[in-house]
Structure 1
Amino acid sequence: MPRRHMHMTGADGAALRAALRVLRTKLDVPEEFPAEVLAEAERAAGAPRLPEADATDLPFFTVDPPTSVDLDQAMHLAKRSSGGYRIHYAIADVAAFVTPGGPLDAEAHRRVTTLYFPDGKVPLHPAVLSEGAASLLPDQTRPALLWRLDLDAEGRVETTEVRRALVRSRAKLDYEGVQKAIDTGTAEEPLALLKDIGRLREALEVERGGISLNVPEQVVVAHDGTYSLGYRAPLPADGWNAQISLMTGMAAADLMLAAGTGILRTLPTAPDGAVGKLRRTAKALRIDWPHHVPYAELVRSLDPQRPAHAAFLQECTALLRGAGYTVFTGGERPDPAIHSAVAAPYAHTTAPLRRLVDRYTGELCVAAVAGSEPPEWAVAALAALPQEMAGGTRLANTAERESVDLVEAAVLQDRVGETFEATVVDVKDREPLVGTVHLEDPAVVGRVESALQELPLGGRIRVRLTQADPGTAKVLFATV
């Protein structure tokens, strides 16, 4: 898949925004915050519960997409004099602003997660907090949960601490800028170490059998009142940054397991036959997969820029479905306790501005390190969180999928009957004449049907656009 943005002129912004409003209504998406929630957020923004500890001397930096202003994480990386590395990882302290049981708390439980649409987002918390007083914006002093992770020379975590502290970010960086600075050797040590630590953590991920899929993302691009579609291939810096977050999530899980109370993000192992199916797919795509090579090792050897490899990586995402949350209390070992893609216990804790559960895991970890009982409000909410998060995740996935469908249909609605070059990225097991193709120009993924012969998985074919209806959000192709 090409790493570029496509700028189409066919997707009229006004018409598409109207269709997106209909979609939000259909999904019963919460829009405006109630007056009492906004009032509490304003009061909290002006008078948060501030910690006594001060870590504003550390020059933190954030790494996010360029337009992001809801900044959950900031980091400072350093070498230890005794060898190894020290990571300070600041996470926005949402609990400093939200009173348990109040209107703001109740609204967060109703929303569960931030929803993203092409024409804007529907935030978990009011903007005065998520984009203002609670966000780790540069040159602003903020309350945070400050993690300190000491690593050995191989990147393994030796000690973990987390406490409340005031922090101050010095720079808001984006992935492309970080990648360029590291590649050109212009990055100062705290940033340059992101590559060193990230690669060490990636090696440890391979060692434990974890999986990170480098699948190009289909993205919606807004441009002068219109919308288009593009593909974005993740940069190495994306992966290095993700490793810091993953490491913190694993550390959080370990702290909660040791304390006997918590909530884990879990994923069962792939069902019987799933890996066998992938082996058959690899053979069909002419990907060499020797039997002695583990699945995780094969995935890391693939180049997502090659169509056959991109098709295989798309198939691999099937192994990552079925994730959920597992609660445990009273010191009992949870079952399941492992996230099979991480290949270790893991918890969501690094995105509290955008995800409800992270506020609770952060609170439980602070208590675990302090050796104190977690707050009653945090423990009382645990039982309901898995179901709440499942509903919010389903809504977020549906909103994202149907938004992209709408943009695809809008981009192509005047091109029905035209033919395009496409790559087959999926073929139905029991219907080999039906599958999915991705187009490079425009950047569209759609259903395809063949009248005569089985679709060649990973193969290049010509397809004719037979339907593009923004009203139904459907794009359909037929083989030529």
Structure 2
Amino acid sequence: MPRRKLRVKAADSARINAELAELRARLEIHAEWPEAVLAEAEEAAERPRLPEYDATDLPLFTVDPPGSRDLDQAMHLTHRPGGGYRVYYAIADVAAFVRPGGAIDAEARRRVETLYFPDHRIPLHPTRISEDAASLLPGEPRPALLWQLDLEADGAVVLADLRRALVRSHRRLDYAAVQRAVDLGGADEQLALLATVGRLREEQERARGGISLPVPEQEVEETLHGYVLGYRAPGPADGWNAQISLLTGMAAADLMLDAGVGLLRTLPAAPAAAYERLRRIARALDVDWPEGLPYPELIRSLDPDVPLNAAFLNECTGLLRGAGYRAFDESRGLPAPGDPGHAALAAPYAHCTAPLRRLGDRFAQEVCAAVAAGEDVPDWTREALPAVPALMAGGDRRSGEVERACVDLVEAELLAGREGEDFAAVVIDVDEKRPGSGTVQLREPAVRARCESAGGPAALPLGGLIRVRLAAADPATRTVRFAAL
């Protein structure tokens, strides 16, 4: 789906910011840091734990959204002697700055994840660490967990190794710059290899039966002119970068499972009834799903710019519900899950590549670093593991609530005062329990909202292009509702 933006007037920006401040207060989300945390962060930034191994000559680069300063990962790719590829993947060593049981550790366990508001970011760690001393900013030596991942010519993993190292990123790129360089034929060897290895790993994902859903998501951004609300679907460069992160997360999961201790990100396989429901929806939307065609192959064949396909892909997100964290430590009576896999990836997987922004990654990193070095996993890590899944579940819920509330607010502000106007929309969801009720997606402005039909289910055909009338747009309650015509 093409990205479309609608700007909010400057006067509305101040009103939205005030609403966002009230939202943070209501959710008890505090941007302020206790003095003890700030003091400890300053001390840690000046005297971090530094590794003995020096890998600062390795020409790493980062790929992140423009303007980002909390850079968790950097990479270097090369051809492997004898054939295949070698990927070096450096991850910020947050544990080099966070003392177990200290003030930063306690505050991070309270925050759990970095939260993103349109006007403000609430980081997991003080910015002296997350956007400075621990961030893999170009030109700065940083302690890191450095993975070496050797791949065959087809992208299959033949070796995964990990060690603590001092690294230095040599350049910072964003997704658009990478994509332009590859598309225009101006990519240097590193970016060309990222595209090559990324595509090979996508083929490996296909062979495993894994899948990534290309569902466009709403995005809110503040600019000098006001707020922007649009749809954004990941491009190829986003996918290549994600494949390197996924590769590392799967290597980490295998390492921890072999050691009998760790933290996994799991997703159970969807029940057969869920796939039967999707088949019924596919028939209703005229999406051709031949008998015997695997679900992942069907998804790869669909163009999300086609409204009927977009509606079907939106329904497919239901298969991703149920993802969570599983801690295990078999030496202490906490068994590994019977099925440790992540159904969407068709492989065991661990979150370990975003420790500046996600609490659980620090614990997974510490397990992997100890196991790879042939050392005992630190007691503080083992003692913390059983509580981490519940902490992360709460953090995920709060992050989702924040994201949805922010989008709802900007949608309501965009449409306030336009009640009674008609819009073109696509029906992307219908409520099976409430006939005549569903969700529609507008292309202009980039809004998704509830829609009711006095004409019953026939007036809200899933995937249908319909006309709707704005019935309500209330910023105070963050509510938008449409009525089908």
TM-score by length of 2: 0.97
- What is residue 84 of structure 1 aligned with on the other side? 84
Q: Secondary structure at the match of 1:68?
A: coil
1:451 aligns with 2:454: yes
One-letter code aligned to 1:7: R
TM-fit CA distance, 1:330: 2.1
User: Is the 8 Å Cα contact of residues 228 and 411 (structure 1) preserved in structure 2?
Assistant: no
Deviations 1:330-368 (A, max 9, x none): 264423411111111100000000000101111110111
- What is residue 470 of structure 2 aligned with on the other side? 465
Q: Superposed, which structure 2 residues align to 1:41-440 within 5 Å?
A: 41-224=41-224, 226-330=226-330, 332-440=335-443
Q: Aligned partners of 2:96, 2:113: CA distance in 1, in Å?
A: 19
One-letter code aligned to 1:459: G
Deviations 1:375-423 (A, max 9, x none): 1111110010010000111000100011100010011112111110111
Q: Aligned partners of 1:131, 1:151: CA distance in 2, in Å?
A: 32
Q: Aligned partners of 1:110, 1:274: CA distance in 2, in Å?
A: 36
1:442 aligns with 2:407: no
User: Is the 8 Å Cα contact of residues 5 and 221 (structure 1) preserved in structure 2?
Assistant: no
TM-fit CA distance, 1:225: 5.3
Q: Aligned partners of 2:466, 2:429: CA distance in 1, in Å?
A: 13
TM-fit CA distance, 1:217: 1.6
TM-fit CA distance, 1:215: 1.0
Q: Aligned partners of 1:358, 1:11: CA distance in 2, in Å?
A: 40
Q: Aligned partners of 1:334, 1:267: CA distance in 2, in Å?
A: 11
User: Is the 8 Å Cα contact of residues 161 and 372 (structure 2) preserved in structure 1?
Assistant: yes
TM-fit CA distance, 1:309: 1.2
Q: Aligned partners of 2:227, 2:11: CA distance in 1, in Å?
A: 6
Q: Secondary structure at the match of 1:381?
A: helix
TM-fit CA distance, 1:453: 3.4
TM-fit CA distance, 1:11: 7.2
Change (3 A) 1:225 1:243: same
Q: Secondary structure at the match of 2:214?
A: coil
Q: Secondary structure at the match of 2:330?
A: coil
User: Is the 8 Å Cα contact of residues 5 and 230 (structure 2) preserved in structure 1?
Assistant: yes
One-letter code aligned to 2:220: V
TM-fit CA distance, 1:3: 2.3
User: Is the 8 Å Cα contact of residues 473 and 480 (structure 2) preserved in structure 1?
Assistant: yes
Q: Aligned partners of 1:11, 1:415: CA distance in 2, in Å?
A: 17
User: Is the 8 Å Cα contact of residues 266 and 324 (structure 1) preserved in structure 2?
Assistant: yes
Q: Aligned partners of 2:271, 2:20: CA distance in 1, in Å?
A: 36
Deviations 1:187-232 (A, max 9, x none): 1111111111111111111111111011112101212252131111
- What is residue 27 of structure 2 aligned with on the other side? 27
User: Is the 8 Å Cα contact of residues 4 and 444 (structure 2) preserved in structure 1?
Assistant: no
Identity %: 61
Deviations 1:260-316 (A, max 9, x none): 111111111113311111111111111100011100111111111111111111111
Q: Aligned partners of 2:465, 2:257: CA distance in 1, in Å?
A: 49
Q: Secondary structure at the match of 1:401?
A: helix
Q: Aligned partners of 2:77, 2:172: CA distance in 1, in Å?
A: 15
Give RMSD over aligned pairs.
Answer: 1.2
Structure 2 unaligned segments of length 5 or more: list them: none
One-letter code aligned to 1:206: R
Q: Aligned partners of 2:108, 2:227: CA distance in 1, in Å?
A: 30
TM-fit CA distance, 1:8: 3.9
One-letter code aligned to 2:464: G
User: Is the 8 Å Cα contact of residues 11 and 228 (structure 1) preserved in structure 2?
Assistant: no
User: Is the 8 Å Cα contact of residues 2 and 440 (structure 1) preserved in structure 2?
Assistant: no
One-letter code aligned to 1:476: R
One-letter code aligned to 2:65: P
Q: Secondary structure at the match of 2:272?
A: coil
Q: Aligned partners of 1:378, 1:330: CA distance in 2, in Å?
A: 14
User: Is the 8 Å Cα contact of residues 10 and 410 (structure 1) preserved in structure 2?
Assistant: no
Q: Secondary structure at the match of 1:417?
A: coil
Q: Aligned partners of 1:477, 1:36: CA distance in 2, in Å?
A: 50
Deviations 1:150-207 (A, max 9, x none): 0001101111111110111111111111011011121111111111111111111111
Structure 1 unaligned segments of length 5 or more: list them: none
User: Is the 8 Å Cα contact of residues 11 and 411 (structure 1) preserved in structure 2?
Assistant: no
TM-fit CA distance, 1:10: 8.1
Q: Secondary structure at the match of 2:7?
A: coil
Q: Aligned partners of 2:379, 2:45: CA distance in 1, in Å?
A: 24
For these two proteins, the number of residue pairs brought into alignment is 480
TM-fit CA distance, 1:90: 0.3
Deviations 1:429-458 (A, max 9, x none): 122311001111100000000101321111
Q: Secondary structure at the match of 1:12?
A: helix
Q: Secondary structure at the match of 1:383?
A: helix
Deviations 1:446-476 (A, max 9, x none): 0000101321111110100011111100100
TM-fit CA distance, 1:5: 2.8
User: Is the 8 Å Cα contact of residues 63 and 241 (structure 1) preserved in structure 2?
Assistant: yes
User: Is the 8 Å Cα contact of residues 195 and 240 (structure 1) preserved in structure 2?
Assistant: yes
